[in-house]
Amino acid sequence: MKKQILKQLKTLTGFNCVSGNEADIANYLVRILKPIVDECSLDSVGNVVAIKGKPKMCIFSHIDKVGYVAAGCNKKLISVVALKKAKGYPGSNTWPVRIVSNSVCHSGSLFQDKNEGNLWVKTKEDVSENIKPGMLVCFDSEFKETKSGIVITNSLDNCLGITTAIEVIKKAKNICFVGTVQEEMSSLGAMYAAQKLDFEKVIVLDATYAGKGNSAKLGHGPTICLKDDYWGNKQMIEGLINVAEKLKVDYQVEVLENGGSDIKGIVFGSAGTKFVFIGIPVEGMHTPYEKADLQDVEKAAFLLTEFVKNHD
């Protein structure tokens, strides 16, 4: 499974799917999911909706990534703005990025103005003729894997969640998957899907903060979140813990002061839906150098597959 996961991650992290611009990755997911599900298409807002068998449960996993948008350009200097929930700021560092459109791709370095805190991208050449307001600015870091199974790259939030969901879809007999759009901005996709599909139970599968100052740790399994902005459904939480204990799957219990996942969209779209948040631990979230352990993806996929089977 590890080789499959690694290959899938490399492919997914290569898409320039900054929030609100998910069409390319959405079409890719439709293409690879159609052969293994009964129905797969895009809904009115661009969500990927895949249905296999007669599901009683649905997995929501967002397909957009954090990024920035070009606002103006003066020769080698481009002013950019961050998306609403793109909390990654370089501070005193510079980050490798690329500015992209259908026909243009320029590399540059993202930095933050020390005095006013504004964000800029500096390029090596004059790009003023090619850069237009609204062009996407994406992280541009290499994909690295260590011998111990640690991966370091950009966009593991939420390529890890999508990859995990694909593994569950392959093995489960009855499952619904929604690859949601615009989670990093407004949870518009989750809100629309929750209202239209109206599933009783939803698993929100996403990356979660790990490392310094956070309870989650790499290599210790996925997190089962008791609470962030909202309490998770106690019955679903207990069910997941019971499956993990029975099958001896590593997991972590997480309690957060607040959160920024698709749960908010689900609550607003269909307030009666029962939900639980499952997180894949990531260090350096919303930077070009996010770090994760592939073992956590494997453990999450196994746990969720068995949990879903219990609801068939």
Per the structure, how many domains does the chain have? Answer: 2
Give the start-end residues of each E strand in 87-200: 95-100, 105-112, 119-122, 136-139, 144-145, 150-153, 175-180
Considering the domain architecture, whether residues 202 and 281 belong to the same structural domain is answered as: yes
Would you state the pLDDT for residue 85?
57
CATH assignment at residue 156: 3.40.630.10
**Among 139, 155, 186, where does a domain finish?**
139
Note the pLDDT of residue 86.
57
- Ranges of residues in the chain whose predicted pLDDT is under 50: none
Q: What's the pLDDT at 1?
A: 65
Positive or negative CA dihedral for 224, 267, 29, 159? negative
Question: What is the per-residue pLDDT for 197?
Answer: 92
Same-domain status, 180 and 152: yes
Q: Which of 139, 158, 182 is the last residue of a domain?
A: 139
SS3 content of the chain, % helix, strand, coil (to 5): 30, 30, 40
Q: Are residues 97 and 235 in the same domain?
A: no
| 134 and 274 share one domain | no
Same domain assignment for residues 297 and 221 = yes
The whole-number pLDDT of residue 277 equals 96
The model carries a pTM of: 0.94
Contacts of residue 242, defined as CB under 8 A and 6 or more positions apart, other chains included, come to none
**What is the span of the domain harbouring residue 292?**
2-65+144-309
CA angle 204, 83, 30 (to 5 degrees): 50
Let me know whether 21 and 81 are in one domain: no
Q: Do 128 and 240 reside in the same domain of the chain?
A: no
**Widest pairwise Cα distance in the chain:** 61
Specify which residues 227 forms β-bridges with. Answer: 231, 255
258 and 119 both lie in a single domain: no
Q: Does 111 lie in the same domain as 230?
A: no
Distance separating alpha carbons of residues 150 and 220, to the nearest angstrom:
13
Task: Please compute, for residue 151, the number of CA atoms within 13 A of its CA located in the half-sphere on the CB side.
Answer: 29
The domain boundary, picked from 82, 114, 139, lies at: 139
Examine the domain organization and report whether 247 and 266 are in the same domain. yes
What is residue 255's predicted lDDT score, i.e. its pLDDT? 92
What CATH number is associated with residue 86?
2.40.10.170
Q: What's the confidence (pLDDT) of residue 87?
A: 56
Q: 105 and 52, same structural domain?
A: no
Residue pLDDT, tens place only, 16-53: 999 999 999 999 999 999 999 999 999 999 999 999 99
| Whether 116 and 60 share a structural domain | no
